Amino acid sequence: MIRIDGVSKVYRASHGEVRAVDDLSLTIDSGEFVALKGHSGSGKSTLLSLIGGLALPSSGSVEVNGQVLPELSSAERARFREEQIGFVFQMFHLLPYLNVLDNVMLAASNGARAESASYAKELLGKFGLNDRITHRPGQLSAGERQRVAMARALLNRPKLLLADEPTGNLDEDNANALLDLVVEFHQEGGTIVLATHDAAAAARAQRIVELSSGKAVRN
Ligand code: ADP
Ligand code: MG
């Protein structure tokens, strides 16, 4: 479960302070699929970063699966991410000089590489990428790239998937194919927080939390 309690995130910019997240409280149960909806600048990416332990709140508490993230060291937060979280981003974040399999294997910890390699191939096969395993990202369509990023996110069998505008660079068919994989992860028991400004993507979630100026206006 995710428990966000009175959380603010303040950035200091040249023109003053920006409250990217403003005294937000929100609870997400294990196994929920929640969409964070809102205009650009409403705080969606910042909130995902806080839930994933990539950023720390300026005030308030973020607890994920029993761990209070601001109380962890950066090494403990890195381990928390590796063990519990899968990330998917709008821009895919694949390394251009690695092939598809090696991009997915970037997420593998050293201890379990052989096991991870077979699971990576299983995921890529399931995502329709069997004949793309030795291709580089530049040789793939946007939809294929995002399915590679999804395989990388799922490699460590995370409990929680954080997706930041994952369909933002996809056409409708590829967006739907990607969202089908997200829904499948949910049906297998995973928890999902998906940030999107796209109503069709948000409609795939069980619950929509709407953000405006860092506050939840509909929850
Ligand atoms: P969204 O993902 O909904 O577009 P963001 O969380 O990216 O919103 O941004 C929320 C607000 O915080 C925006 O006003 C943005 O300009 C500001 N912001 C985000 N990251 C930073 C940063 N690193 N430094 C300063 N301001 C930031
Ligand atoms: Mg964003």
Ligand 1 within 6 A of CB of 42 = yes
The closest residue, in CA terms, to atom 17 on ligand 1 is 20
Ligand 1 within 6 A of CB of 38 = yes
Ligand 1 within 6 A of CB of 196 = no
Q: 78-88 burial, b if ≥16 CB within 10 A, otherwise e?
A: eebbeebbbbb
Whether 127 is covered by a domain: the verdict is yes
Q: Which amino acid is at 7?
A: V
Note down the domain range covering 81: 29-58+70-218
Instruction: Please determine, for residue 111, whether its predicted confidence score (pLDDT) is greater than 80.
Output: no
Q: Scan for tokens 């993507």, then name that residue.
A: 201
Q: Scan for tokens 């998906």, then name that residue.
A: 194
* 170-206 pLDDT tens trace: 999 999 999 999 999 999 999 999 999 999 999 999 9
pTM of the full predicted structure? 0.96
Q: What is the CATH number of the domain that holds 187?
A: 3.40.50.300
Whether 47 is covered by a domain: the verdict is yes
Whether 10 is covered by a domain: the verdict is no
| Pocket probe mutation, ligand 1, options 11, 22, 162, 194, max atoms within 8 Å of Cβ | 11
Q: How many helices (H) and strands (E) does the chain have?
A: 7, 10
Instruction: Please determine, for residue 6, whether its predicted confidence score (pLDDT) is greater than 90.
Output: yes
- CB burial of residue 124 (10 Å; 0-12, 13-18, 19+): buried
Whether 53 is covered by a domain: the verdict is yes
Angstrom distance (rounded) from CA 61 to CA 72: 12
Centroid of ligand 1 to alpha carbon of 7 (angstroms): 15
For 75, the token pair is 């090494």
Whether 211 is covered by a domain: the verdict is yes
Q: Average of pLDDT values for 89-105?
A: 95
Report the number of distinct structural domains present in the chain: 1
